[in-house]
């Protein structure tokens, strides 16, 4: 079944996943242009990978539960795509 994925994640200063349970889809992840500071994504080696305000990247067949983000409390990351 094909489903649309559209979510807004308000980041905190601790890592949090983009989904609470396994959710595999093809999505574009965007850091809101109005964010106060870069958002850190947890890299595959555990390091912080900073994304600037307005930065976005597209991913195919990724499990959103495995992607962790943190940043300045109140900044926003959006996820838009689907499970096709």
Mean pLDDT of 9-21: 97
Given this model, what pLDDT does residue 1 score? Answer: 64
Global pTM? 0.94
CATH architecture of 4-82: Sandwich (2.60)
Q: Spell 34-56 as b/e; 16+ CB within 10 A means b.
A: ebeebbbbbeeeeeeeebebeee
pLDDT greater than 90 at residue 2: no
17-72 confidence digits (pLDDT tens): 999 999 999 999 999 999 999 999 999 999 999 999 999 999 999 999 999 999 99
Q: How far is CA 59 from CA 29, 56, 72, 74, in A?
A: 8, 10, 24, 24
Q: Where are the domains of the chain?
A: 4-82
């Amino acid at each position: 079944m094909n489903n649309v994925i559209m979510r807004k994640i308000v980041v905190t200063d601790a890592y949090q996943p983009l989904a609470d349970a396994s959710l595999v889809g093809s999505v574009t992840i965007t850091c809101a242009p109005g964010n106060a500071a870069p958002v850190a994504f947890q890299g595959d080696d555990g390091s912080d990978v900073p994304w600037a305000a307005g930065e976005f990247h597209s991913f195919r067949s990724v499990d959103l539960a495995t992607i962790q983000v943190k940043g300045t409390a109140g900044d926003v990351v959006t996820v838009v795509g689907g499970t096709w």
